[in-house]
Every structure is written in C-alpha cells, then in structure tokens.
C-alpha cells in the first residue's frame, strides 16, 4: 500500500487529493491498482472535501480496457505492435509528410488534461522539430475568448483572483457558469458565502441553474445577448454616477469610448434584446456597483459564442468601471474547465505564442527560444487553431495530425465534419488512455499513462501550479506522454528533448517563461505556487493587477451587441444550448467508466420545457429526435422548468447521443472559438 498527494484530474478547481495504491501479489509490477482517492485536509482548495468525481477518481484508472500496448490500424481493426515499430512509424510518417507537403501540412493537438511539462514538449516538438506553429488544444473550444479578451483589456488572460477569496466576497455576479455542476468546490464557496455570510448573488443565465435558487437577483437572458445586458449595466452605472472616477482616471484608458458606446443600451432598449425585465437590470447594476468586494464569475456561457471575445471584454469593462479589479475578493474570474487547460495555455500549446504568452511574431522571443532549444528559424507566422485545423484537413491542405489526450469527435462542433476531416487525413497518430471515438480513426495509437502514473504539474484555474505525483507504474506497456514525445523527437533527429525526469523539463520552462520563472519542483511542496512567480524567492501571486494592470493601464474596449450566428427560424424553431453536468466529465471517457457516476446518469438526455413538451406530446423519459443543419441525434427527454420555452439543453458527455452532432461550427473571428451555446434545431417525438 502506498499513498501519494496529487491533484485531481477532473476540473479546474485543482483539489489536492491522495491516491492510494496497492500492488497485489497476483498482479505484476506493471499492474498496480489504485484503490482509493480522498481529499487533502490542508490543501487550500479542497480543505478536506472533494466532489463526487474526485472521491471516485480511483476507479477509471484500473479499468481493464485501458490501452496497454501500441496499436496500428490493420484490416479494419487494430493490431498490437512494439513501441519501436509504433514510434518509428509516427516519426517517419510525420517527417515524410513534412518533406512532401511542407510543415504547414502538419497539425499538433496538445492536451488540457496532460501536464505542463507535456504541453511544453508538444509545442516544442511542433516548433523546434517540425518547424510549424500549427499547435493548439481544446482551450480553443472553451476559454480562447478569455485569453484574447482579458489580454486585450488587462494584459493578462487569466483568472484575476483566487478561489479562497470567494470566501470573503460581498457579491458574486455569476454568468454563463453552472458553478455547482462544473466547479463544485467553487460553487460551494459561493453557496456558503451567500447563506452563511449574507453575500449577494446575481445569476445571469438563460437556464435556471442550481445556483439561481440562492440568487438575490436572477436574470434569464436570451442565449447570446450578453454584450447587451452587460452594456446595460454599464449604462446604468454611468448614468447614476456609481462608477469609480479616481480608479478610472488613474488606472484605465478609453473611458470616453465606453461611455459613448453604452449610451444606447438603456434598460428599456436592452429589455427588448435580452428579455430581461428592465428593473432587474437596474437593480443588478446598482448592486454590483455598490458592493465593495464584488467578483465576476464566468465560464462557457460567456466564452462559447461568435461574440465570445466581445462578451469577455464587456465583463472586463464592467469590472474596471467599478474598481473591481486589483483587490482581494474582486476581479474577473474565468473558471477554467479542465484540470490543466490553464497550464496548456501558459505553456504555449497555442498557435500564436510560446510559453508565457510570448508572441511567435516577436523576434526577441524567437531568438530566446532558438538559443535554448538549439535550433534556427523557429516559425514566425501564427499557425492554425483547432477549428481551422479540421477545416484545412477537410479541404485536403492539412495531411497529418498528432493528437494527445483529446477527443475532437465528441468535443468539437459539427461532429460529422470532424469525422470526415479525420478520414481525409493521410496520417493520424493519437496518444490515449482509452480507445476513444477519435482514436478509432488513428493509424497509430500510443498508450499513455494516466495522471496516476507519472510526475508532473497541473495549473488550476487560480493559476496554482501544483504537483501530480506518480502512484503506480504505467499499466501494461503504457508510457507517460512526456516520454513518448521525447522519443518521437529523438527519432526525428532532434537532440534537445533528453530528459530523465519531468522536473528537468520544468527547469527549462522556468528559464524561458517569466511567469513561471521561480517555479521548480523543490518549491512546489506541499501545495504549489500561483503564478506570476518570476523568481526563486517570489512567493507567488494570489491576485493580479494590484496597483497596476499587467499591461500598465487597463483598456476599456467597448463592444456593440451582435446576434448569434444561427438563430431559430420556421424550420429549426428551437434554440439549442449545450453544456456539462456534475456527474460526468466532458467526453465521458473517464467518468462513464466510473460505476457511481455511470449509475447516476447512465445515458444522454435533453432538457425541454414542460409547455413545449406538452405541445409536442413529449413525455418524461420519452424518446425524441433532435435535428440541426449539421446532423441529428436520438435521445430521451427530461421535462423541466430549468430551460426557457423555445430552448433545449443537451449535455455533451454521451457519445451515443452526441450534442456536437448538432452544434454550429461558426466561430468568433479573433478567438476562433465555436458557438456551442446557440444554434437552431428542431425536435420531435419518436
């Protein structure tokens, strides 16, 4: 029996938990079992608690259908081969395709579930070895708007404050975040603050989420109308003189433009767009402005729109207007979904930046990386994003893709389009722990170690860089992703990925990445450090933009409201929104293999309003067909008041009733994030 302190694999809360392992006498050393997971009592986020997923994180690791040997496609199925053959195949094919079509024909998808070190290596592989900036990961699908929007307004695209600061806040403005479902340990802090300390709560969400029952003010806007209601709040705050003149003068620029833009967004005008009653808008504006420690909390409901960047900028404007940035228990707090999506972004698994958000177009930055990596001519043009990669693949321009720990067939919009794109590729290699829907398309599958089988670090949503620790040897012949990536680099003739332990990778990261400058494994015990941590003595940073913004002065970047790309019409007369639920996680590869979670919600469903259900003669549990211009799915109905009339909601975890078969691949023009939250569908009883 052994026990290690590690970080939970599920959401961006990054709870500290212990994994208990057992080597059974009848199982080999490479067949250790994880027999328990329980909370760390002193960890700043978990504080002795976990959500149901964390409490059951031990189970999926041991499942017998873990990928245990390298596989190559053969005769309509897969054949086991040696690592030698598999790795040779991957490196050879990628090099050949680069030779034949150029480096722009290659794409690399990194993983928001893999460690910081592994994300760093993936982008290093793409850039130093294959000389392409076509590296991206699923942040494109979730918080790409945040990275762009907050970088533009504040100079830094990360959550401004910390999770424990929720415990002292006076007011929360929660929008587009089903916090109790998606970030339970943060949602719980909101519940406690509201119930035990009398904190105020404004919830703005088209769906009546659980948190709404505690709300001081609940506003149900129409999907995709966020710029309007946020501008309306600014309008009221300016009109009633509730803004902080001194703060605006000293710390921001461009206020006049904001004032001009929001002038037309009066509560009356905005009510027409958003359907939010005007007096609620006024009350919410006053409550937010007058609360001293007010925190904006948001997630996919704000970011996953064709106007995602505008939505984020508008929230930033609202916060700056009322001096709610740069102090404890305030700020603009995007809740990062995956356990390490923050880290994957920080470590440069993005087409336009190296680690630390240093631009690939910046000559000095390139020179620094070229020096450290001992290569010349790192690519200087920003590469393709995830959404563009699949478009180019379908067009036949992108020929090869190397995917690590991602499942685009279920997670990306317009699944049929993704499937066709994958089929069109000349070569697809995948690092995975289970045979996912995406892995089915691979030419080579490399079995990867789970989070329990390697050392490394994750960065949670509050910028906390914390350790994961190896509890058991990788099962079967699996290897940690960092070893796999290093091997491929080596076989491609590159000598700069010769590491014996992830801590060495972190040392290299620290030298190249100012915000991680002071991070090293010996400093991360026991519970990590929050970046920016620029030097070895720096204690880490709980909240950002203290005294001044990361870019100096914060910029008001006002936006005009624009409707979503595809709204209901006569044929497709319902609005579809997609999202997540508490019991499952993203594409379900781990949570659906966990008995307690699977028992709670064994199959997909659609939420439909009782009045709509009655009109369409749909009963609770009845089978329905939902169709959009992209495709159709069959699923079971849950009749609930949670969704507005004319709207339905489908959680995207279930591959047999995959929400993304229906979703619209239209993207935000700058962030390239898909509009998962709004598209037009029709629904009928079967």
Q: Which residues bind another protein (CB under 8 A)?
A: 1, 3, 5, 16, 18, 20, 22, 24, 26, 33-43, 48-52, 54-56, 58-59, 62-65, 180, 184-185, 187-189, 191-192, 195-196, 213, 525-527, 582, 595-596, 599-600, 621
CB of 304 to another protein, least distance (A): 24
Helix (H) or strand (E) holding 293, with range, is none
Bridge partner residues of 172 (DSSP)? 201, 295
Bridge partner residues of 650 (DSSP)? 578
* Burial (0-12, 13-18, 19+ Cβ within 10 Å), 440: middle
Inter-CA distances, 593 with 60, 387, 495, 636, Å: 5, 28, 39, 21
CB of 165 to another protein, least distance (A): 16
Toward another protein, which CB reaches closer, 39 or 502? 39
CB of 610 to another protein, least distance (A): 18
Toward another protein, which CB reaches closer, 59 or 392? 59
Toward another protein, which CB reaches closer, 448 or 488? 448
CB of 218 to another protein, least distance (A): 16
Inter-CA distances, 411 with 349, 384, 642, Å: 18, 18, 24
CB of 36 to another protein, least distance (A): 3
- Residue 145 has a CB neighbour count (10 Å cut-off) of 30
CB of 24 to another protein, least distance (A): 7
Which of 351, 286, 366 is closest to 132 using CA atoms?
A: 351
Write out the two tokens for 430.
Answer: 């995948």
Toward another protein, which CB reaches closer, 38 or 269? 38
| Cβ pair 112, 340 in contact under 8 A | yes
CB of 191 to another protein, least distance (A): 5
Toward another protein, which CB reaches closer, 525 or 645? 525
* Burial (0-12, 13-18, 19+ Cβ within 10 Å), 291: buried
CB of 92 to another protein, least distance (A): 31
CB of 205 to another protein, least distance (A): 18
Toward another protein, which CB reaches closer, 423 or 525? 525
Residue 150 sits at the vertex; the CA angle it makes with 214 and 387, to the nearest 5 degrees, is 95
CB of 145 to another protein, least distance (A): 28
Q: To which residue do tokens 């995956």 refer?
A: 338
Write out the two tokens for 145.
Answer: 């708007």
Toward another protein, which CB reaches closer, 102 or 526? 526
Which of 201, 209, 16 is closest to 641 using CA atoms?
A: 209
Helix (H) or strand (E) holding 227, with range, is helix 226-239
Beta pairing, strands 444-447 & 427-432 = parallel
Rounded Cα distance between 551 and 672, Å, is 23
Toward another protein, which CB reaches closer, 182 or 660? 182
Toward another protein, which CB reaches closer, 574 or 582? 582
Write out the two tokens for 310.
Answer: 């505008």
CB of 185 to another protein, least distance (A): 6
DSSP state of 64: T
Which of 46, 37, 2 is closest to 19 using CA atoms?
A: 37
Write out the two tokens for 197.
Answer: 């300390």
Toward another protein, which CB reaches closer, 51 or 608? 51
Write out the two tokens for 239.
Answer: 């009109």
Range list of H helices, 266-340: 267-274, 278-290, 300-303, 308-321
Question: 526 preceded by cis ω (within 30°)?
Answer: yes
Toward another protein, which CB reaches closer, 92 or 197? 197
CB of 582 to another protein, least distance (A): 8
DSSP state of 618: P
What is the side-by-side order of every strand in the sheet holding 71-74? 77-80, 71-74, 444-447, 427-432, 400-404, 106-109, 135-136
Write out the two tokens for 149.
Answer: 């929007």
CB of 42 to another protein, least distance (A): 4
Which distant-in-sequence residues (6+ apart) come within 8 Å of 406 by Cβ? 109, 110, 111, 112, 137, 138, 438
CB of 198 to another protein, least distance (A): 14
* Strands (E) located in 399-504: 400-404, 427-432, 444-447, 456-459, 464-468
DSSP state of 474: P
Toward another protein, which CB reaches closer, 396 or 539? 539
Toward another protein, which CB reaches closer, 50 or 89? 50
Toward another protein, which CB reaches closer, 18 or 327? 18
CB of 230 to another protein, least distance (A): 28
Rounded Cα distance between 79 and 444, Å, is 10
- What is the four-CA torsion angle of 39, 41, 47, 49, rounded to 10 degrees? 30
Toward another protein, which CB reaches closer, 189 or 545? 189
């Amino acid at each position: 029996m052994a026990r290690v302190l590690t970080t939970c694999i599920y959401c961006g809360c990054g709870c500290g938990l212990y994994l208990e392992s057992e080597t059974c006498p009848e199982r080999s050393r490479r067949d250790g079992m994880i027999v328990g997971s329980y909370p760390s009592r002193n960890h700043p986020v978990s504080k002795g608690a976990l959500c149901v997923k964390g409490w059951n994180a031990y189970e999926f690791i041991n499942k017998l259908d873990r990928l245990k040997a390298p596989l190559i496609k053969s005769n309509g199925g897969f054949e086991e081969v040696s690592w030698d053959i598999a790795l040779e195949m991957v490196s050879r094919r990628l090099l050949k395709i680069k030779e034949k079509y150029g480096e722009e024909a290659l794409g690399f998808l990194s993983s928001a579930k893999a460690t910081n070190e592994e994300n760093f290596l993936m982008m290093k592989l793409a850039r130093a070895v294959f000389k392409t900036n076509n590296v991206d990961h699923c942040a494109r699908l979730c918080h790409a708007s945040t990275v762009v929007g907050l970088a533009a307004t504040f100079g830094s695209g990360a959550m401004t404050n910390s999770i424990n600061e929720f415990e002292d806040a006076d007011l929360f403005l929660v929008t587009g975040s089903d916090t109790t479902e998606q970030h339970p340990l943060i949602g719980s802090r909101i519940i406690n603050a509201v119930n035990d300390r009398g904190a105020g709560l404004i919830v703005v969400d088209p769906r009546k989420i659980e948190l709404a029952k505690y709300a001081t003010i609940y506003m149900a806007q129409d999907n995709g109308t966020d710029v309007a209601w946020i501008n309306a709040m600014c309008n009221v705050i300016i009109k009633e003189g509730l803004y902080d003149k001194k703060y605006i003068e000293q710390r921001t620029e461009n206020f006049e433009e904001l004032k001009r833009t929001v002038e037309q967004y009066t509560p009356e005008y905005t009510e027409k767009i958003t359907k939010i009653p005007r007096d609620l808008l006024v009350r919410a504006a006053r409550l937010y402005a007058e609360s001293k420690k007010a925190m904006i909390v948001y997630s996919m409901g704000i970011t996953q729109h064709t106007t995602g960047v505008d939505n984020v900028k508008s929230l930033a404007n609202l916060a700056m207007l009322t001096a709610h940035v740069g102090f404890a228990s305030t700020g603009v707090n995007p809740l990062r979904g995956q356990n390490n999506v923050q880290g994957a972004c920080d470590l440069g698994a993005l087409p336009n930046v190296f680690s630390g958000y240093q631009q690939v177009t910046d000559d000095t930055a390139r020179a620094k990386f070229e020096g450290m990596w001992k290569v010349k001519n790192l690519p200087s043009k920003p590469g393709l994003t995830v959404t563009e990669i699949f478009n180019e693949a379908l067009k036949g321009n992108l020929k090869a893709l190397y995917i690590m720990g991602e499942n685009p067939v279920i997670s990306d919009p317009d699944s049929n389009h993704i499937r066709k794109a994958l089929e069109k590729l000349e070569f697809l290699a995948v690092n995975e722990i289970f045979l996912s829907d995406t892995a089915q398309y691979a030419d080579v599958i490399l079995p990867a170690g789970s989070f329990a089988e390697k050392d490394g670090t994750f960065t949670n949503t509050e910028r906390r860089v914390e350790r994961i620790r190896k509890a058991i040897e990788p099962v079967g012949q699996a290897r940690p992703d960092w070893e796999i990536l290093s091997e491929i680099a080596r076989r491609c003739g590159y000598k700069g990925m010769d590491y014996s332990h992830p801590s060495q990778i972190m040392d290299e990261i620290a030298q190249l990445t100012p915000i991680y400058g002071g991070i090293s494994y010996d400093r991360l015990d026991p519970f990590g450090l929050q970046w920016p941590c620029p030097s070895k003595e720096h204690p880490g940073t709980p909240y950002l933009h203290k005294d001044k913004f990361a870019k100096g002065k914060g910029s008001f970047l006002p936006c005009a409201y624009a409707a979503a790309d595809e709204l209901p019409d006569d044929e497709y007369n319902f609005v579809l929104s997609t999202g997540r639920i508490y019991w499952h996680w993203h594409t379900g590869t781990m949570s659906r293999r966990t008995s307690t979670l699977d028992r709670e919600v064994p199959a997909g469903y659609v939420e439909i309003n009782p009045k709509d259900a009655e009109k369409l003669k749909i009963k609770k549990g009845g089978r329905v067909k939902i169709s959009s211009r992209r495709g159709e799915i069959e699923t079971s109905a849950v009749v609930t008041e949670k969704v507005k009339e004319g709207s339905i909601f489908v959680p995207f975890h279930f591959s047999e009733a995959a929400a993304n078969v229906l979703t619209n691949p239209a993207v935000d023009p700058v962030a390239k994030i898909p509009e998962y939250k709004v598209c037009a569908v029709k629904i009928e009883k079967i």
